Structure 1
Amino acid sequence: MSNVTFKGGAVKLEGSVPNVGAKAPEVELVAKDLSSVKIGGAKGKYQIINVVPSLDTGVCAMQTRKFNEKAASLSNAEVYVVSLDLPFAQGRFCSTEGIEKVTALSDFRGAKFAKAYGVLLADGPLAGLTTRAVFIVDPSGNIAYKEIVAEITTEPNYDAALAAIK
């Protein structure tokens, strides 16, 4: 159980967060063109899974822009941003912000990712959305790094996350 706060108030997460070294759950999400995309599991390259409550907030937008910039130089990694925003809104955000190195994926069909990765907010003002988190999945499908950001309104540790990619 992670200790997470939103503007200082404690919030609960639903599901259980996979530990470093564990198999990354494979989950099907929805891309901006409404196609299905599976993430987690073995893909033969690293997966940077950038989880945000909503791309319509400043910190989430900043987090996604920073991963987009930092991912430009990575040839051995796929970079995703996962939220419960609708795919149409994600597509508009990526177009407006010039996000080209990050694939936006929506978990709006049943919050399967949020539950499998233990990042669904069970209570508080953002209940029903995902908390802020970063998972790095190695090429063989194991969790190489995880960060459940302690205070939802703050950015993750980008350097620590990217250091998990070899």
Structure 2
Amino acid sequence: MTAGQPETDHRTASAPYLLPLLAGGLVAVALGVYGRAHPPTGYAVGLAGFSGALAMKAWLTTGAFVLAVVQLLSALAMYGRLPGVTAPSWTGTLHRWSGRAAFLLSVPVAFHCLYALGARFDVPRVMVHSLLGTFFYGVFVAKMLSLPRRDLPGWTLPVLGGLAFSALAGLWLTSSLWFFVVIGVTL
């Protein structure tokens, strides 16, 4: 350090990263603890039009995953990462609304998983699914808290968005795809 330069406090410099990550981590842990400690009821409110709770969860998760693909493609277009594609002016609006809709589709699924089934670790597929579910909501919270912050590096939102997309893809693979392969494609 040269004379006249202020000393940088590394704790203060890392605070913009840590606050959203800490909040997201707390949400993930709280959901995991609740899912593990809460005695599963075996029943949760279902949505009309589905043959059962598993079908509802499979289709809503599929809808959320399709919207997550829209999220991924619109983000890549906005960041100029799709060769030969210029993002139309409405791409940001599409990105925001597809994210909101994907989140809303995930809420009844998460409610059913936590309330009716709880977090389980006895079957590998279900354990991975439980861990991915809590991780998804933790990353989602971290990303939402990072959105209004202008003091974060440009890579922060793409990394958090990529983690959220990866978690949702894993959730779809361990739930909806499993349901469609084992049970069949039913409403």
Q: TM-score by structure 2 length?
A: 0.25
Higher strand share: 1
Higher helix share: 2
Q: Which has the larger radius of gyration?
A: 2
